[in-house]
């Protein structure tokens, strides 16, 4: 049973010898091995995917609050370029609700797997906010996390089902969203082949790009409809959304958002694992952004042009958020935030107050 999480490389198998191993509503879809244009057109024109996307858009909520889910589980919010994992055993068996928003050209993707072996139920959920296509190794690592977590609970005759929810993006003029969509499905195809004896991908939600945009008039750019999602790791309940209430964004919001502007490594930033009930913020070097004083004086429409990939459809508070980050980076010293560059900032969850607090070690 699932004794190795290394990809299989049998000499008698090629990608042309097998099916896609990716399913949507009980039917195999793909394979996703053609040109980017072929992959994109296949997804957009797939009748079942398009029909489900229309239904899912109707269920979208405008603002997710603490009352949206009927559970006392904590919310774990992922900002752009962040990733988190949680299992059903954490937070006194309640798990957590993984969530993210503000995806315009970005995509938000969630993975969930569940097994039961000898009476033990095991669930793992992961959520990432993808702002580009540099994260192939990170997505592969997500899959390996799930295979490792269920190590003894699957086999070649009873493969692990890895459920996938993906939302965000629209037909932006620079084709940024289209690039993320085609990259992601091509990557899923690669992973499904590498681990073909261990898992199958089940696409449950696919509201992306052309399946996720407002109707357009001539000369008017479209905008994304669904801009995020929330997933109750324990129950598997999913909620498509426009906005996550600011009260649920968790701790150190400004510190986390600022990192996006000064650290450009091609990796997702992990803030939560299934091994510890806490949020970890890894240290980084704060530095003043170039032309900060000029940028802070720009009117909204100009600031949007210089800082956003989709300036016409950002949230109302986008410019205020950018100015807050630029001001923070200018006025704050690294040592005032990270006393020890070898230690993370640690935040734990208080169930009584439903707030996060910093743990001083």
Q: Where are the domains of the chain?
A: 15-251+268-274
Residue range 68-81: mean pLDDT, rounded? 96
β-pairing, 22-24 vs 160-168, is unpaired
Provide the pLDDT for residue 265: 84
Crossing angle of helices 47-58 and 36-45, in 10° steps, is 60
Distance from first CA to last CA of the chain, Å, rounded? Answer: 40
Phi-psi region of 291 (alpha: psi -120 to 50; beta: other; left: phi over 0): left
* Cα–Cα distance measured from residue 295 to residue 348, given in angstroms and rounded to the nearest whole number: 35
Nearest residue to 36 (alpha-carbon basis) of 145, 179, 143: 179
Secondary structure (3-state) at 264 = coil
The yes-or-no verdict on residue 169 having pLDDT over 60 is yes
DSSP letter at 106? S
* Cα–Cα distance measured from residue 63 to residue 155, given in angstroms and rounded to the nearest whole number: 41
**Overall fold of domain 15-251+268-274:** 60s Ribosomal Protein L30; Chain: A; (3.30.1330)
β-pairing, 75-77 vs 27-29, is unpaired
- Percentage above 70 pLDDT, the chain: 94
Question: Residue 27 phi/psi, 5° resolution?
Answer: -115, 140
Nearest residue to 128 (alpha-carbon basis) of 78, 173, 193, 167: 78
Q: List beta partners, residue 99.
A: 77, 230
Q: Using an 8 Å Cβ cutoff, are 233 and 85 in contact?
A: no
pLDDT tens string 237-277: 999 999 999 999 999 999 999 999 998 888 999 999 998 99
β-pairing, 82-87 vs 27-29, is unpaired
**What length is written for the chain?**
361
Nearest residue to 175 (alpha-carbon basis) of 40, 54, 45: 40
Residue range 186-199: mean pLDDT, rounded? 95
Provide the pLDDT for residue 18: 56
- Report the chain's mean pLDDT, rounded to a whole number: 92
DSSP labels, 166-222: EEE----TT-HHHHHHHHHHHHHHHHHHHTTTTEEEEEEEEEEGGGSB----TT---
Provide the pLDDT for residue 16: 53
The yes-or-no verdict on residue 198 having pLDDT over 70 is yes
pLDDT band at residue 153 under the 50/70/90 scheme: confident
The yes-or-no verdict on residue 184 having pLDDT over 90 is yes
Provide the pLDDT for residue 157: 75
Burial classification of residue 156, based on how many CB atoms lie within 10 Å of its CB (0-12 exposed, 13-18 middle, 19 or more buried): exposed
* Cα–Cα distance measured from residue 206 to residue 57, given in angstroms and rounded to the nearest whole number: 10
Least confident of 30-34, 212-216, 287-291: 212-216
β-pairing, 199-208 vs 22-24, is parallel
* Half-sphere CA count of 25, side-chain side, radius 13 A: 10
DSSP letter at 158? B
pLDDT tens string 26-51: 999 999 988 999 999 999 999 999 99
* Cα–Cα distance measured from residue 326 to residue 297, given in angstroms and rounded to the nearest whole number: 11
Burial classification of residue 217, based on how many CB atoms lie within 10 Å of its CB (0-12 exposed, 13-18 middle, 19 or more buried): exposed
pLDDT band at residue 17 under the 50/70/90 scheme: low
Provide the pLDDT for residue 152: 80
């Amino acid at each position: 049973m699932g004794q190795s999480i290394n990809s299989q490389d049998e000499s008698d198998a090629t990608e042309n010898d097998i099916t896609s191993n990716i399913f949507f509503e009980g039917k195999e879809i793909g394979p996703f091995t053609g040109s980017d244009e072929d992959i994109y057109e296949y997804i957009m024109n797939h009748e079942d995917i398009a029909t489900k996307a229309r239904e899912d858009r109707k269920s979208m909520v405008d603002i997710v609050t603490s009352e949206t889910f009927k559970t006392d589980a904590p919310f774990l919010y992922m900002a752009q370029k962040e990733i988190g994992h949680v299992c059903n055993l954490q937070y006194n068996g309640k798990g957590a609700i993984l969530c993210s928003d503000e995806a315009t050209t970005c995509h938000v993707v969630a993975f969930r797997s569940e097994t039961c072996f000898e009476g033990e139920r095991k669930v793992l959920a992961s959520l990432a906010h993808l702002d580009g296509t540099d994260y192939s190794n990170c997505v592969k690592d997500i899959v390996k996390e799930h295979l490792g977590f269920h190590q003894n609970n699957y086999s070649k005759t009873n493969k692990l089902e890895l459920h996938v929810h993906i939302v965000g993006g629209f037909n932006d003029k620079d084709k940024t969203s289209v690039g993320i969509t085609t990259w992601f499905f091509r990557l899923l195809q690669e992973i499904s082949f590498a681990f073909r004896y261990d898992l199958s991908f089940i696409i449950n939600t696919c509201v992306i790009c052309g399946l996720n945009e407002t109707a357009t008039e001539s000369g008017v750019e479209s905008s994304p409809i669904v801009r995020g999602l929330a997933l109750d790791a324990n129950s598997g309940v999913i909620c498509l959304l426009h906005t996550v209430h600011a009260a649920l964004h968790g701790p150190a919001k400004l510190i986390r958002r600022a990192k996006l502007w000064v650290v450009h490594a091609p990796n997702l930033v992990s803030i939560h694992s299934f091994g510890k009930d806490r949020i970890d913020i890894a240290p980084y070097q704060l530095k003043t952004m170039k032309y900060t004083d000029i940028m802070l004086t720009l009117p909204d429409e100009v600031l949007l042009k210089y800082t956003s990939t989709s300036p016409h459809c950002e949230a109302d508070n986008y410019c205020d958020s950018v100015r807050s980050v630029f001001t923070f980076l200018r006025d704050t010293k690294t040592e005032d935030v990270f006393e020890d560059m070898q230690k993370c900032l640690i935040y734990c969850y208080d169930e009584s107050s439903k707030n996060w607090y910093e743990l001083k070690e």
